[in-house]
Structure 1
Amino acid sequence: SPDLVTTQQEYLLALETLEKVKGGQNEVTIRGAESLVEASKRRLLLWGISEKQIEELTRRKKTNTHMTIYAPLGGTVIHKNALEGKYVKEGENLYKISDLSNLWMLADIYEYEMAWVKNGQKVEITTPAYPGEKFEGKIAFIDPYLSQKTRSVKVRVDVPNPRLRLKPGMYVNALIRSSIDEGVHGPGKVIYTCSMHPEVISDKPGECPICGMFLVKKELASSGSVLAVYKYAVLDTGVRKLVYVEKEKGIYEPTVVEIGSEAVALVNGQKRRFYVLKAGLSEGMRVVSQANFLIDSQSQLTGQAGAAYGGALTEKEKEKAPPSKHIH
């Protein structure tokens, strides 16, 4: 480039001027010559000339019409525009270089999951290309806009890739572990109960007062866990949320519950959807998770579950109505 040759000549001329005025007594002139050298050197650096090449130019004191241009960073060439013998214009991109040792992973987070996702959270990443292997990343950016078509938001995750095993464009699965603040937290203690009569609960080991069997030790959920109920166990009446609880074998009773956010948890390696429980149930209760609509419809036909729906019966009928149960 003629401009690059001119910049080299300006630098060499500035060096020559500095050498001439160094022996003088005028400090202003010397500082001016030094400033001119520094300015010329900065122009060479802006051209992409390295410090080592500038040192070689200073030593040889001769301009170069052919120079090697070094990339400003190391990486992998992902696109090449330059061809041998091609005339290159100023500002034209010759190569695209990417540092693949640190990748971006883009994940789609559904609208109901947005409350669980925050910047800085760790993400566990798996891919069919490497079965059984896990990669870790960290959420760096959450898109401020929601897609109207997919009802999801894009999340960018920074993923270290030192061995370059992950490739751009690969499909991966992401697991984001999030702590839950709402709901009923586990007591984090140990109780003793009878295997034949689960309603018998004691804080100490001993015998069941009903059958005389020794009580079995049972560890309750830790204080860091949250009580949850299977999503499809909850019936939404439009007024309240109901769960059918097993009171005795074959006898089920509707119980009003207060639920929180929806979450996905791994149960025996499979993803299951749950609601966080705020009130209505306690740990260890057996609830109907399938065919609860059938039980509910049968209860309504017998008129025994009407009171649970608030408005199905008049006030007088509610007083006369028997407790809401379904006997199977």
Structure 2
Amino acid sequence: MEYFQKYKNYFIAAGILIVGILIGSLFSGGGSENSHKDGEHEYVQDPETQLWTCSMHPQIKMEKPGNCPICGMELIPLEESDASESIASNEIVMTEEAIQLANIQTTVVKESDAAKEIHLLGRVKPDERLLFSQVSHIPGRIERLYVNFTGEKVYAGQKIVRIYSPELISAQKELFETIKSKEVYPQLYAASRNKLKLWKLSDAQIDAIEKSGKVQEQIDILSDHSGYVMQRNVELGNYIMEGQTLFEIANLGTVWVMFEAYESDIPWINIDDKVTFAIQALPGKTFTGKVTYVDPFVSSSTRVAKVRVEVKNPNNKLLPEMYANGRITAEMSNVEDAIIIPKSSVLWTGKRAVVYVKVPHERTISFVFREIELGADMGDYYIVESGLEAGEVVATNGVFRIDASAQLVGQKSMMNPEGGVVMTGHNHGAMDMGDGNNTKGTMDDDSSMDHSKMETKTDHSAMDRRLKVSETFKGQLENVFDTYLSIKDALVKDNGDMAKTQAGALLDFLAKVDMKLLTDHGAHDHWMTISKEIKSSSKSISETADIEEQRGHFKHLSAHLSKGVRLFGVNQKIYEQFCPMADNNKGAYWLSLEEAIQNPYMGGKMLTCGTTESTIDQ
């Protein structure tokens, strides 16, 4: 008893502690069935309701854990907040991480006036209504040339040649005979003077002949027009016939600027449209004029029509054959509140135009495939005749990546309009990238896949179908690609100045690629989109010598040039190589003719870092 009294307080404290543990266990429900061990990533939930998904392909929903059937990554539990949002079966769901890695951008569909800025190339030409042929009205032999060279300026009434004419001598003798009897026969006198006038002798010349009283064996021919001599057709001593052309004369007080318009631009151009243009030979000066004529015929060889602009030329600054760059801001008068979308949002396959429309979910990012009907071409935009409404959101960048994801999960896509499961060739971590060759990579249960790598590669399945183009176009694209390799080599050597110079050269070769060689509408539009991105990235590289900034632009240049090479080919075997550490460990691709790694993103720091991921054949 004394022992109990001595340790009574300890027994009371122990009893209170035991009671507290029992109460806590009661209210917590035991904690044995819904435990979450963070260190082991162990999830224990109701097996009847738990779904599993892929972090890179959220459209995948499995009832059991395992690996993603698309990419082979380990599935993770689907959170309740994600599962509660209704996702249609035709939606292509993407995570925010995948959106960023694929550089997917969207644009709100809007209503706008049907306006288009048309760029034209042309040349200055003489006004055809002010072209004159100076002829001789008197037969004879040229004794003297007052105008000696092409380009000389002449004025109406100016002496141009002196001739000897037996017919003129006879006519002068007749005049002198009629002068003697002009009081008796004034009609004969008037007729003889009129004969000389018909030979274009002026009254002053005839009066001078009468006053002298002598027959002039030689007479001067005067110019009927003012202007510049375009062509001289006679030499000293030539015998000329009546009506023979002596000189071609052009009055340049007004000139024409003859522009060439592509057939797709012709419906936009109307008479009296204002044209602003610059002359390459006169930098810093801008001229304006109005369209006075549009050629009703399109050239069968060049596929262009002539557009004429008349311009006053008081100072004769505009000379024939000068090059001109014109711009017309044109509007379709019969179209109001048109639905327009950027060209980069459209995928072409045959006659079908396809866009991916963003679904307005609160938490999930997803897109749906939609075919639309396009109207007029507005330059950087298309008018949509049907299929979209104002306020909807469409993908404008990274569209091929969305389409590739749709193909992999069997949804409708550009190359697979009916939908259906695509055979991926997946076998324990092997992925078929759509070209018929399995790219295998061992993925242990605890390993993770390079997401940026996967996102870039899935885009290729939509691009591997080679378009048929002319060898001339391939050669022009090959010049662009060869200059791209020079940029790559400069970055390998950490030479920003060289990369800047070569980027400028690439822009020059890009400007020489003749888009008229792409007669297929789909190929034409693909190249317009791709070339715009290549131009933007190359221009950015050419405007800075900062090597790291250049490498950032080189990543985008490589991605878009890769699309062009895959679509059109450049008659060379190309290796597509990947650096996992580029762009702050997001990874980036580049193209090379050698399989050995020479890393343009790391340069001398890690020259051989990277792997060869695929090849693009001729």
Contact 2:369 2:412 (8 Å CA) reproduced: yes
Compared CA separation, residues 88 and 307, structure 1 to 2 (3 A): closer
1:274 is the counterpart of 2:381: yes
Structure 1 residue 75 displacement after superposition = 0.8
State whether structure 2 residue 265 is matched by structure 1 residue 150.
no
1:86 to 237, 256, 260: 237
Q: 8 Å contact 1:126–1:135 — kept in the other structure?
A: yes
Query: Aligned with 2:320: secondary structure?
Result: coil
- Residue 394 of structure 2 aligns to a residue in which SS? coil
Q: Distance in 1 between matches of 2:388 and 2:208?
A: 80
Cα 1:51–1:290 change in 2 (3 A) is farther
Work out whether 1:174 is the aligned partner of 2:289.
Answer: no
Identify if the C-alpha distance between structure 1 residues 104 and 282 changes in structure 2 by more than 3 Å, giving closer, same or farther. Answer: same
Aligned to 2:252: 100
- Please state how far the C-alpha of 1:120 moved relative to its aligned partner: 4.5
Tell me the SS of whatever aligns to 2:372. strand
Identify the range of structure 1 (174-183 vs 290-299) with the bigger mean alpha-carbon deviation.
174-183
For structure 2, list consecutive stretches of 5 or more residues without a partner in the other structure.
Answer: 1-164, 421-618
Counterpart residue type for residue 244 of structure 1? Y
Equivalent in the alignment of 2:373 = 258
Given the alignment, which residue of 281, 295, 302 partners 2:402?
295
Q: What is the alpha-carbon distance in structure 1 between the residues aligned to residue 286 and residue 324 of structure 2?
A: 10
Change (3 A) 1:19 1:178: farther
Counterpart of 1:236 in structure 2 is: 348
Deviation at 1:61, TM superposition (A): 5.9
Question: What is the alpha-carbon distance in structure 1 between the residues aligned to residue 340 and residue 191 of structure 2?
Answer: 68
Q: Deviations over 1:39-65 (max 9, x none)?
A: 852x43443323443454566565433
Q: Deviations over 1:166-224 (max 9, x none)?
A: 111211112233321354x23xxxxxxxxxxxxxxxxxxxxxxxxxxxxxxxxxxxxxx
> Which of residues 26, 29, 37 is equivalent to 2:190?
37
Distance 1:312 1:45 in 2: 88
Count how many residue pairs are aligned between Structure 1 and Structure 2. Answer: 252
Output the amino acid matched with 1:241: A
- Percent identity, please: 29
Conserved in 2, the CA contact under 8 Å of 1:182 and 1:260? no
Task: Summarize the Cα distance change of 1:154–1:301 in structure 2 as closer, same or farther, 3 Å threshold.
Answer: same
Partner SS for 2:264: helix
Deviations 1:47-104 (A, max 9, x none): 3323443454566565433333221111122333455x53341244333321122223
Residue 64 of structure 1 corresponds to which residue in structure 2? 216
Q: Provide closer, same or farther for how the CA distance between residues 38 and 129 of structure 1 changes in structure 2, counting only shifts above 3 A.
A: same
Give the whole-Å Cα distance in 1 for the aligned partners of 2:273 and 2:173. Answer: 54
The Cα RMSD (Å) is 3.6
Counterpart contact for 2:412–2:418, Cα < 8 Å? no
Partner secondary structure for residue 157 of structure 1: strand
Q: What's the TM-score once normalised by structure 2's chain length?
A: 0.36
Shift of 1:296: 1.7
Cα shift at 1:151: 2.0
Counterpart code for 2:356: Y
**Structure 2 contact 178–192 (Cα < 8 Å) conserved:** no
Q: 1:163: how far off?
A: 1.3
* Change beyond 3 A, Cα 1:40–1:55: closer
Distance 1:146 1:307 in 2: 33
Deviations 1:223-254 (A, max 9, x none): xxx54322232223446422223445843334
Matches of 1:232 and 1:55, distance apart in 2: 79
State the 1:284 CA deviation: 5.7
Q: What secondary structure, in the 3-state scheme, does the structure 2 residue paired with 1:69 have?
A: strand
Aligned to 2:268: 116
Secondary structure class of the residue paired with 1:178: strand
Asked if the contact 1:104–1:158 (Cα under 8 Å) also holds between the matched residues in 2, the reply is yes
- Distance in 2 (CA, whole Å) between partners of 1:45 and 1:152 is 49
CA change 1:13–1:116 in 2 (3 A) is farther
Contact in 1 for aligned 2:347/2:354 (Cα 8 Å): yes
The answer as to whether partners of 1:123 and 1:176 remain within 8 angstroms in 2 is yes
Greater relative contact order structure (CA < 8 Å, 6+ sep): 2
Larger Cα-atom Rg: 2
Could you tell me which residue of structure 1 aligns to residue 36 of structure 2?
Answer: none
**Contact 2:403 2:413 survives alignment (8 Å):** no
* Cα distance in 2 between the residues matched to 1:45 and 1:138: 42
Which residue identity is paired with 1:261? A
Gaps of 5+ in 1: 23-32, 187-225, 265-272, 314-328
1: CA distance between counterparts of 2:173 and 2:383?
74
User: Does the 8 Å contact 2:278/2:287 carry over to 1?
Assistant: yes
Q: Deviation per CA, 1:4-56, whole angstroms, max 9, x where unpaired?
A: 3334444555566553246xxxxxxxxxx27x836852x43443323443454
Alignment check: 8 A CA contact 1:240 1:309 kept: no
Query: For residues 96 and 174 of structure 1, what CA distance do their matches in structure 2 show?
Result: 30
Distance 1:75 1:303, change over 3 A: same
The secondary structure found in structure 2 opposite 1:252 is strand
CA shift, 1:165, in A, is 0.8
The aligned amino acid for 1:295 is I
2:192, 2:367 → 1: CA distance? Answer: 87
Aligned match of 1:190: none
Supply the distance in 2 between the matched residues of 1:227 and 1:299 (Cα, whole angstroms): 26
Residue 302 and residue 134 in structure 1: after superposition, are their counterparts in 2 closer, same or farther (change >3 A)?
Answer: same
Residues 102-153 of structure 1 show CA distances to partners (whole Å, capped at 9, x for unaligned) of 2233322222222223444443221222223222334444445433332223
Say which structure is richer in helix: 2
Aligned residues of 2:345 and 2:396 also touching (Cα < 8 A)? yes
